[in-house]
Amino acid sequence: MHESKTNRRIAFGKDHLSGRSNERWHCRRMRDLFIIVGCWAISFLFNGIEAGLTSIDPVRLRHHVKLNRPAAVRLDRLLKTPERLLVTVLLVTNLADILALLLLTRLLVFRFGTAGFAFTIVIALPIYLFVLGVLPKSLLRRFPFRALSPLARLLEISMITLWPVLAAGAALGRLFLPAQQRGARLFAAREELKQITTQSEREGSLTATERAMIHNVVDFQNVTARDVMQPLSKVTSLKPDSAIEDIFHMSRSSGFDRLPVIGANGDAVGLVNVLDILLDKHQPQSLSCYMRRVVTVQENEPAARAVQRLRAARLDLAAVVDQKRNLTGVVTSEDLIARLVRA
């Protein structure tokens, strides 16, 4: 009888321990589920913030800053350091994604054994691809400023919290990576301007022609003299010993009033404007009396610089040469301006 009581006590103790173990497992499972859902909510929010940061309209933001709206001022202050802000968003997003995935894997493996890995893939793949990836980005790209303004405080707190990590990363970057050139920021500013004009066209502030002209002005920095010049084979030119009558004839046949003078060695030695001859009250003399100096530009020289050099010399035509100083063509101010403003 004593042994029977002892066995009952042992069984009761086992049942009690088993019940407490099940209760602890249930509490831990609920805690993990709560953390997983919370991490997914954070990931959803910061994935949308990432898309909003790349889609926000700088013109609209500056307008609200001028109105001295606190959320806009705070957001503008954060965007002064876009690299640090973007790194903060990516850190928070990745940490939340990794933690949620680890907890989900542990939960399913503990419940289903090795089959839990397969269940993790089946559950996590659509959630991470569509619910946390595509959906928040699509939502915040539609109204980035309205969505980011109330979240500026959250971003500010996140940057302050992760400041040690960001500072350490910046120090390592300066140690192992070379300093970036200023040209990179200039390129970014040009791309931002094109983005602003495209957005303004959608809103009706600019016409398609105006938008195209602004884009052409921005892209003109990448145009070279070779892209605009007339090849030498298509150029109507004079020789140093050409007669005055030949100049008039070639001008009428070609339709140009400015003709380059090409020497015997193939170099551009000067420029003749037919109007100078026509406006001369005296008897037309030799070609050398009307020949002006000619501006020379390299083939790979930016077209914008060619415009500046022509304006400084008060001329309308420049000779284009290659690296060996061989004449390859001519470029006129009309061709440069037409390329600049064409739509």
pLDDT, tens only, 127-166: 998 988 888 888 888 888 888 888 888 888 888 888 888 7
Joined tokens for residue 188: 């970014």
Q: What is the pLDDT of residue 198?
A: 79
Binned at pLDDT 50, 70 and 90, residue 189 comes out as: low
Q: Which residues contact 62 (CB under 8 A, 6 or more apart)?
A: 76
In words, the CATH class of domain 225-341 is alpha beta
Here the tokens at position 130 are 């569509």
Average pLDDT over residues 205-214: 79
Nearest to 144 by CA among 77, 48, 65, 43: 48
- Kindly tell me if the per-residue pLDDT of 185 is higher than 70: no
At 276, list the tokens: 């100078």
For residue 182, the model assigns a pLDDT of: 45
Pick from 39-48, 67-76, 120-129, 267-276: least confident: 267-276
Tokens of residue 153, six digits: 């405080």
The pLDDT assigned to 80 comes to: 82
Q: Do the Cβ atoms of 302 and 224 come closer than 8 Å?
A: yes
Neighbours of 239 (CB within 10 A): 13
Report d(CA 53, CA 144) in Å as an integer.
7
How far apart CA 237 and CA 317 sit, in angstroms, is 12
pLDDT value, residue 304: 83
pLDDT digits (tens, 9 = 90+) for 61-106: 887 888 888 888 888 888 888 788 888 888 999 999 999 999 999 9
- CATH 3.10.580.10 residue ranges of the chain are 225-341
Cβ-Cβ contacts under 8 Å for 50 (sequence gap 6 or more): 86, 89, 90, 93, 137
The pLDDT assigned to 93 comes to 92
CA dihedral 330, 334, 339, 343 (to 10 degrees): -150
User: Are the C-beta atoms of residues 158 and 95 closer than 8 Å to each other?
Assistant: no
